[in-house]
Chain A
Amino acid sequence: MGENKDVWVFSEKYDLTLEIIGKGREIANTLHTELAAVLVGSGVEKKADELIKYGADRVYLVDHPALEHFQSEAYLSVLHSLAIKYKPDILLIGSTKNGKPLAARLATRLETGCIPDCTELSVDEKGRLIGERITYGGNAVAKIIFRSKPQIATIPARVFKKLKLQDRNGEVIKLDVKIEEPKTEVVETKPLETSSINIEEANVIISCGRGLEKKEDKALLEQLANIVNGQVGNSRPLAEDRKWFTEWVGLSGHKVKPKLYIACGISGVIQHVAGIRDAKIIVAINSDPEAPIFEVADYGVVGDLYEILPALTEALKKRFQ
């Protein structure tokens, strides 16, 4: 076990790779080891230098036409070969819909542990990685350590910040590895409409839940958002059940940290609340005085969102004049 060294970073998403390098750099510094990024794809060699400028000391580059698109068996075999060959101490993998299963399979192939969806990472006095994650539907935060190596953790998007581009030098190691044959075949991909705005960065978020009767009524929230320079969000059922949107705020969606979060017609079930814990001020507007959202709100208004929202928009407009 003693021979494992260095902190590694991998994600099939480039932006997420940079974010994880940001945190990986800090951990590598604490442990006085090196930080390596694993770069996998086809025609990606030109990105290696940039990864170093963002904080990596070394880049393991596997560039092959068969790796152009993410494919579980292919990517898994690449990461597995590298991990066997160089024995990293810590491996941080982007927690995407493809990345998390990859991390789980890799951890299993290497017979080691895995901490999924870490919201914080640290190192204890013995140099062991501690991962923190939200558990029990948002009721708790768990701290987890490893009894095996490498220590594999997955990191969701936008939890950590990428570093500033710097003039740094590092080493690029180009490798040829045996790529496993795919067991599944992607027969079609359609782009998904995602909001181009980044809700995690928003200072003010006005969110609606099932209390909203029609998709068009979102305009009520948008009018308020316009006044306060905010963004509009929603609870999961509006996406999952009603298919009005494709994203949502909460445990299984975006975890946000605005200065102000206004929940309109949202009951405040813990899975939703888990996504807004880091909001500075939470306002709840709900017609049901018993709604659990009031228990986690700073300001609560019992009332119809169709009346309160326009009135609040007017009141704020007046104050801005």
Chain B
Amino acid sequence: MKRIIVCLKQAVDVTQLKVDPATSQLLTASAPKKISDFDKNALEEAIRIKEKNGETEIFTVTVCSEDAKPVLREALAMGADKAYFVNDHTLQNVDTWATAYVLAEAIKKIGSFDLVLCGEASLDSFSGLVGSRLAELLDLPQINSVRKISVEADVVTAERTLEDAYETVKSKMPALITVTREINQPRIPSLMMIMKASKKEIVTWTVADLNIQKEKIDAKNEVIEVLAPKTERKKIMITGENTKEIAEKLAKALFQEGIIRR
């Protein structure tokens, strides 16, 4: 029996995020939350590996100061077998170091595994550090930004896209892989799957349950300001009787802006 652990972040749905126009502050607290996109790809990939290779169990791990159970139910409906949820209010301002540290301790408590899958980065903060930090803390071989995975016996082969090359990388398992969005299209669970998932277990732990000393998860970074960039655009709509007229008006405007040259 193989075991795949998928790290899932509950992220702010950035497409539904509102900005307070007076202060340029983001209204993150009231924004809807969801499974971070790339993490969903990681989960989908785990399910596909299971469908192909059989005899595999999939556990998800989530670290969050707020409630994330509805999001974890969705993961279980998609096909995860069990969800582990480290839920602790002390985790409110965690940075990538602390997040990875708590994930590592949770994974150690879960026990053995063959593969850890993470998204390449999260939808909201888009840091892309946690997977690598986790690989370091668990002393695992790591393959990043992967768009194809195949598993055979105890070897995983992965394809990744670099700036100037495609690379195929092999590693012995256990290993940690971070995936990109192009790796797959995550499934939408059916009603049946959603019903079945209600019987699956969500194991909830606190930081204390993991015997983590408080100093170990002190943040190494501090965010001192988050502001929406000011965009002052003219928002002039160009209309006209016909395409030709519109095009000529636009061409004239661009000339007047002094921004085009032959």
Contacts and interface: CB of A to CB of B under 8 A. Distances in A.
24 contacts: A97-B144, A113-B221, A114-B221, A116-B127, A116-B128, A137-B15, A141-B226, A184-B143, A184-B169, A185-B169, A187-B157, A187-B168, A187-B169, A190-B166, A204-B259, A229-B261, A259-B259, A280-B259, A281-B259, A295-B233, A299-B234, A300-B236, A303-B246, A315-B247
Interface string A274-318: 000100111100000000001111111111000110011011101
Which of B97, B125, B128, B247: most chain A Cβ within 10 A?
A: B247
A184 B142 contact: yes
Interface in B163-188: 163-172, 175, 181-182
Interface string A178-203: 00000111111111101000000001
A143 B224 contact: yes
B223 to A, nearest CB: 5
B163 A97 contact: yes
B144 A301 contact: no
Contact of A105 (B123, B133, B167, B181): B133
Contacts of A295: 233, 235
B219 A147 contact: yes
A312 B135 CA distance: 52
A108 B170 contact: no
Interface residues of B, number: 84
> By DSSP majority rule, is chain B's interface helix, strand, loop, or mixed?
mixed
A107 interface: yes
Interface string B26-38: 1010000000000
Nearest to B244: A311
Contacts of A184: 141-143, 169-171, 175
Interface in B51-76: none
B170 to A, nearest CB: 5
Contact of A104 (B28, B96, B157, B160): B96
B255 interface: yes
Contacts of B142: 72, 101, 105, 183-184
B215 to A, nearest CB: 11
A43 B220 CA distance: 37
Contacts of B144: 97-98, 100-101
B241 interface: no
B146 to A, nearest CB: 10
B222 to A, nearest CB: 5
A145 B123 CA distance: 22
A185 B125 contact: no
A245 interface: no
B127 A139 contact: no
A108 B169 contact: no
Interface string B217-258: 011111111111101011111110001101110111111010
Interface in B1-31: 12, 14-15, 17, 19, 26, 28
Contacts of A320: 262
Interface string B118-133: 0000011111111111
A311 B243 contact: yes
Nearest to B167: A189
B102 to A, nearest CB: 13
A287 B260 CA distance: 25
Contacts of B114: none
Given A114-B96, A136-B125, A192 B166 contact: yes
Nearest to A241: B182
Contacts of A311: 243-244, 246-247
Nearest to B25: A140
A27 to B, nearest CB: 18
Nearest to A271: B14
A246 B250 CA distance: 31
Nearest to A285: B250
Contacts of B125: 135-136
A147 B167 CA distance: 36
B161 interface: yes
Contacts of B28: 136
B145 interface: yes
A142 interface: yes
